[in-house]
Amino acid sequence: MERVKKFQIGEKTFTVEFPNIGKMIDMESLKQALTNGRYGVMASSAVVSMYQALDLVDAIAFYTICVPAVAKYYAIDDYTSVAIDKVTELVTVYKKELKPWYDGILRELMKMPNDNEGTEEEK
């Protein structure tokens, strides 16, 4: 399980560590704040533009909490005030590299010790 990930945006290489519990909570709280408490409703919508907006929200929350060096490097004070074309690469890197890495580790960590064992009803 690779808990540290190096990734590149443009010419700059960044390093991120898998977040601790506090950072995970902060990310989820920020997602709710960015969507005015509508994250779940947006996620269950069948509207494509909602999914695109959530990709932005997820990327913003991840970079803000886990890799603040990205905003510092690109002189971003507030991701929500940046033009969409300026953050396209950030979102692409998040979706293709960072989210799969994060989700994979989270799945591994959340497995129960005896995940393969269970009652006959569970099998």
Q: What is the pLDDT along the chain (123 residues), one digit of tens a residue?
A: 899 999 999 999 999 999 999 999 999 999 999 999 999 999 999 899 999 999 999 999 999 999 999 999 999 999 999 999 999 999 999 999 999 999 999 999 988 565 455 545 544
Residue 115 lies in a domain: no
Task: Answer yes or no: are the C-beta atoms of 6 and 14 closer than 8 Å.
Answer: yes
What's the structural domain count of the chain?
Answer: 1
Residue 123 lies in a domain: no
Helices 99-110, 48-66: crossing angle, 10 deg rounding = 80
Residue 122 lies in a domain: no
Q: What is the pTM of this model?
A: 0.87
Closest CA to 30 of 66, 4, 6: 66
Residue 65 belongs to domain spanning: 4-110
